[in-house]
Structure 1
């Protein structure tokens, strides 16, 4: 189980608050010598009936849930002194003085090393969960459960232990596919459509927390599309069903017994469940599992762009109505993006027929795309939508996202002094024919507030390339003349990295 630590940790004892709901019966009171006061009727409301039991569902799917035992042997490193002493060329004899027979006895049994110089290898055992997806014996689990293991065993619900072989792993999505052999068909469960799961839907987690196999817990979908910042390919389902150490790789079921997620991580200040767990959506895992079954590895499509989010300021500066899409900050040379005509400054708003609602959508969609045909890419460029066909290639790593600093607009002017040559060396800026050097930044200006520094290179103003300080200044003036409230969007390069910054000019 992967643990996500909170940003702030406080040393305090966990406290549980139990709220008891008392039921008070209110009726008519009869007092001697007084009439009975009528009690008004309570307004009728729709009463939500308690959910049915999950017992039948759990009983039907639990035989397909397995425990994973991964063993590895780790060699123990000797200290530098022990390594020196254990080296045959630099060995030191036992000092037994006048008792050479004792020395001979020790060397006969331990060689020229003392017993403490020969530590035994350590064996570690990791426990996790998994589930069978095919009667032939295919088992899905997390990669981190079996990573580095020398032996992996799968323990069935009835206690049967089967030795497993690793059919394939994908560290980038933390998925692994195992294979076991049995003399009879094995119970299995089906992968469902996680895209239909809504916040508030019931879910059931079954796994092996702390080695307690077959443990079942329930809860609801708390949120969708969670980013754990552990890679660009997974938008996690957040759940409040309790999961703990050992639940990793186990299934998350919906109310009809379909697997809609693979339990993977928890957010916890103490290593235990606090009701914040995360599962890999089945819809994103399906294609990975299929590739692992067919080839044992995962091949992803590659576009060749570096991207960043579309912030409020950048959206205003580029004339976008909302903060959707993925803004291209850099094009990789000799990439599909370059050959297809994509440019830095383009905002990809749709890829292969799918809307890009947030930046993280793009790497996942590119990775899942077919590498045998062109992908349709819709981009926002210079105030209009342009359709481009991109011929994707295969590469292990796709679009890398860069997180720029906040670019909330200010009312000060830019405050930049530009040069097309390095004032110290006289050399042309970088190895490129475009771009202007920031020679000085007014510390009170808007550009300084957005993090621009001396030595940065401005490559574009808006979506227009600039080749000289005069061009850059002219583009800034154009922005100000059209709409002073509209931020100027600059493509800035620093230490080989490019990002867009929005600076309000008036």
Structure 2
């Protein structure tokens, strides 16, 4: 028999022999589900009728999204008997459905804020078919969390909580919840990424998974293979209203901190630094003298903030926070948010090409920060060789946007400035880490710019400071 045929036969035997072993290596969730399903609850709420076509909180469908669902689900969601409400304009009470889990024997339940928001009545249904009324202890819309308390509950099952900071990308996880109202549905997948910052909330370092999460799963637990809750399923990325392979969970470390604050104090306090930050890309890293992109670039320090009191300046790049490396700018807000108000944090900062250490006393995060609008001036124009026209900054405009100097961009043509993203009505306050206080300062700095090398430009746009990179 030819050697080539023997090799083929040997390879076939190895594949057949290894297949059962490969199958045996896949995880078995049966015991884990049996051990933990009892502590997972279905949450239904009732509230007054609402105008419009809102059917439930958190992940609403519109008619176009409904049309993309199978016919059965279209009828399910449009039906007056649907747990997500009836037809638009209906006078029937509005209903919402989600998931949750019991974290203490005395009846505390964690879920999403959007599941119970605006509810007049909350009913918690257990796996043994008990239906118990619950009261809303408190909510934290910023993290989309709510804490409920089951009334008159006996013999309540409780989940085990793990540590989300021990999670690793690629490990198996599973969820139990009520997608589309189907109770105690189990789905599984892996951790796809950690520390995701979403536009809706940058103080929560979300866990990204490919576990199938759909409307109704909101507020349900995400388990690891030790049967411990390591996250609360909260959001999905979707263009259809249903699961598309990307879902996000609140890390249990952050969730339990919020829970304890709501339970003990009734409110949630987060640390606040008082800076506007942006990502350090390759060009910015080059212009600031970093060998590779890392850290959080401080674009603006808010007046009267802890950052200002601690000596932080615009143009600083925060490299470490209390000994933890800042790889992406999105790493910084959760670290600050977890710091107790009044405690001092040690920051390693790159300033002028040198690393320095600052100690900043962390303040309390305000509810909202407003942004002011900037308007251009119409006097004393001057044209610079970068392809833009600038004018002196009027005093009233400087006061309104909170800057002490700079020039206003009134026109931008094709050239380095346009390519960098500078636009009319921007206020330039710094170029190549040199302050620009007047048109004359602007001209002097521009004349000394290195040709063909990336330089940073600090602009204030609509009341917010950002750094752009320009190559003259």
Counterpart of 2:219 in structure 1 is 249
Q: Pick 1 or 2: higher relative contact order, CA cutoff 8 A, min separation 6.
A: 1
Contact persistence 2:112–2:144 (CA under 8 A): yes
Counterparts in 2 of 1:61-72, with a 5 A limit?
61-72=36-47
Q: 2:149 aligns with which of 143, 164, 179?
A: 179
Contact persistence 1:434–1:467 (CA under 8 A): yes
Gaps in structure 2 of 5+ consecutive residues: 53-88, 372-383
Q: 2:236 aligns with which of 234, 247, 266?
A: 266
Distance 1:400 1:191, change over 3 A: farther
Q: 2:130 aligns with which of 160, 179, 195?
A: 160
Q: How many Å separate the matches in 2 of 1:400 and 1:487? A: 32
Q: CA deviation at 1:452?
A: 2.1
Distance 1:399 1:350, change over 3 A: farther
Gaps in structure 1 of 5+ consecutive residues: 1-27, 29-34, 78-118, 402-411
Counterpart of 1:14 in structure 2 is none
Distance 1:337 1:135, change over 3 A: same
Q: How many Å separate the matches in 2 of 1:383 and 1:448? A: 27
Counterpart of 1:394 in structure 2 is 364
Counterpart of 1:42 in structure 2 is 10
Structure 1 or 2: more helix by fraction: 2
Counterpart of 2:468 in structure 1 is 501
Q: Does 1:415 align with 2:393?
A: no
Q: Does 1:434 align with 2:409?
A: no
Q: CA deviation at 1:328?
A: 1.2
Q: 1:354 aligns with which of 282, 302, 324?
A: 324
CA RMSD of aligned residues (A): 2.8
Contact persistence 2:38–2:126 (CA under 8 A): yes
Q: CA deviation at 1:413?
A: 6.3
- The structure whose Rg is larger is 1
Q: How many Å separate the matches in 2 of 1:356 and 1:285? A: 22
Counterpart of 1:464 in structure 2 is 434
Q: How many Å separate the matches in 2 of 1:307 and 1:335? A: 14
Contact persistence 1:349–1:378 (CA under 8 A): yes
Counterpart of 1:114 in structure 2 is none
Q: 1:448 aligns with which of 393, 405, 418?
A: 418
Counterpart of 1:74 in structure 2 is 49
Q: How many Å separate the matches in 1 of 2:102 and 2:233? A: 15
SS of residue matched to 2:254? helix
Contact persistence 1:67–1:154 (CA under 8 A): yes
Q: CA deviation at 1:285?
A: 1.8
Q: CA deviation at 1:134?
A: 0.8
- The TM-score, its normalising length taken from structure 1, stands at 0.75
Q: CA deviation at 1:486?
A: 2.7
Contact persistence 2:50–2:94 (CA under 8 A): no
Counterpart of 2:347 in structure 1 is 377
Distance 1:439 1:72, change over 3 A: closer
Deviations 1:299-353 (A, max 9, x none): 1111111111112221111111222111111111111111111111111111222
Contact persistence 2:43–2:123 (CA under 8 A): yes
Distance 1:207 1:421, change over 3 A: closer
Contact persistence 1:414–1:446 (CA under 8 A): yes
Q: How many Å separate the matches in 1 of 2:369 and 2:323? A: 18
Distance 1:421 1:180, change over 3 A: closer
Counterpart of 2:263 in structure 1 is 293
Q: 1:53 aligns with which of 3, 10, 28?
A: 28
Distance 1:235 1:74, change over 3 A: same
Q: CA deviation at 1:363?
A: 1.4
